A and B are shown apart, each in its own frame.
Chain A
Amino acid sequence: MLNTLLGTLSEGVAASTSSYESIATATGTGSSATISVSSIPSTYASLQVRATFKATGTGFYVDDLLLRFNSDTGSNYTKHSLQGNGSTATAVGTASTTSIDCGRILSSDAALANMTTTVIIDIHDYASTTKYKTVRIFSGDEGNISNTSFRVFLASGLWQSTSAITSLTFSTDAALNFTSATQVALYGIKG
């Protein structure tokens, strides 16, 4: 009962501990600008990604973290976000775009040593072959620096495809490589 209640009240909580299973993990190598989870089975009601991200590159703090499904690079995504940068709250929406934003990824600048971006993504009804796919994202990057580059990031995304999602691919806007501090865990939630 407690878990059912908390599942109703909060983001990213499985309704029952027995219905939440680990599917796969992926770790950055430092030499690839993408990180993927593939061969996702269609046996769950929803998916949840819990991840830490870190990119290569120095001399700047952040880059945009992007998500695509089934290797689709077409303009088949739409997105809305609500962001807080430590100074103001802003909202933005984009239609017919080529990826879904997942917030900001921290670079490997010396000022950000030992720090990572954290992300929770919920993908509902991902195995449907009749409906578009809706995604919820909650992420944040914090650098202990008074700079508006760092964000709390809430977003929704839509992939306009009726194909079942069988793979997820993350990349960055500037095609930075993912370091070994990037650890993506994919979970399945049973219906």
Chain B
Amino acid sequence: MATTYDKIASTTLGSASSSITFSSIAATYTDLRVTFVGASTGGANLRLQLNADTGTNYSKTNLYGRGATADSARSTNFGPIYIADDGITSTPHFYAIDLFSYAGSTYKTFLWEGSEDNNGSGSVVRGVGLWRNTAAITSVILYDNGNTFNSGTTATLYGIKAA
């Protein structure tokens, strides 16, 4: 059988930057998966922006454990989604985002997970997000408003193709 899990692109920051962009994403696959391992000296919060849409066309529900507390939160009619629950610190945080049927003609739903441990603080988070747009996803931007990701921060885009 053909391999169905491909690395499309990968970026490792050579210097601090406020964003990582994957663009010109072909409609070749069924799903996309984005992974991010990064640190920030300024407390950046990872946000997800699709097709450079900055409008309030996103919503999300998340579930998180922070210290001894488990809770859930929702945002509707929101701008690009906060994937992070806590701000990213100098300790690397890991995130993975699954974008389903990204080239289809329905709104785009995605699942994500975050691991944010800082040796005394931090969170574990899972979430579901919705981008209310029927266009195929052709670009993914991981960014923060005002803060930067450290040099060495890595993001990778994978494509998963069903038979």
Interface residues, chain A, with chain B CB atoms under 8 Å away: 2-3, 6, 9-14, 17-18, 20-25, 50, 52, 82-89, 114-118, 120, 138-146, 150-152, 154, 181, 183, 185, 187
Given contacts A21-B4, A84-B73, A118-B110, 6 further A-B pairs with CB under 8 A are A11-B96, A22-B162, A86-B73, A114-B106, A152-B128, A181-B106
Contacts A/B (CB < 8 Å), 30 sampled: A9-B94, A10-B35, A17-B6, A20-B160, A21-B2, A22-B4, A23-B1, A50-B31, A50-B98, A84-B61, A84-B62, A84-B71, A86-B61, A86-B74, A89-B63, A114-B132, A118-B98, A118-B109, A138-B113, A139-B128, A140-B61, A140-B109, A140-B127, A142-B59, A146-B74, A152-B63, A152-B126, A185-B30, A185-B163, A187-B160
A25 to B31, CA, bound (A): 13
In the bound complex, do residue B134 and residue A114 qualify as a contact, i.e. CB atoms below 8 Å apart?
yes
Number of A-B residue pairs at CB separation under 8 A = 164
Instruction: Tell me whether B41 is interfacial, beta carbon within 8 Å.
Output: no
In the bound complex, do residue B63 and residue A118 qualify as a contact, i.e. CB atoms below 8 Å apart?
no
Instruction: Tell me whether B50 is interfacial, beta carbon within 8 Å.
Output: no
Closest A-chain residue to B69, C-beta based?
A89
The 8 A CB mask of B136-163 against A (1 = contact, 0 = none) is 0000000000000000000010101111
Closest B-chain residue to A24, C-beta based?
B163
In the bound complex, do residue B160 and residue A146 qualify as a contact, i.e. CB atoms below 8 Å apart?
no
Interface residues, chain B, with chain A CB atoms under 8 Å away: 1-7, 10, 30-31, 33, 35, 59-65, 70-74, 76-77, 94, 96, 98, 100-101, 106-107, 109-111, 113, 115, 126-130, 132, 134, 156, 158, 160-163
Contact partners of B5 in chain A: CB under 8 A: 14, 17, 20, 187
In the bound complex, do residue B163 and residue A22 qualify as a contact, i.e. CB atoms below 8 Å apart?
yes
Contact partners of B161 in chain A: CB under 8 A: 22
Contact partners of A21 in chain B: CB under 8 A: 1-4
Closest B-chain residue to A87, C-beta based?
B72
Closest B-chain residue to A112, C-beta based?
B107
Contact partners of A22 in chain B: CB under 8 A: 1-2, 4, 161-163
A146 to B1, CA, bound (A): 44
Contact partners of A14 in chain B: CB under 8 A: 5
- B80, chain A: closest CB distance, angstroms: 14
A104 to B162, CA, bound (A): 23
Of A13, A89, A144, A154, which contacts B59 at CB under 8 A? Answer: A144
Contact partners of A146 in chain B: CB under 8 A: 74, 76
In the bound complex, do residue B72 and residue A85 qualify as a contact, i.e. CB atoms below 8 Å apart?
yes
A144 to B109, CA, bound (A): 11
A187 to B74, CA, bound (A): 31
A142 to B75, CA, bound (A): 10
Closest A-chain residue to B10, C-beta based?
A2
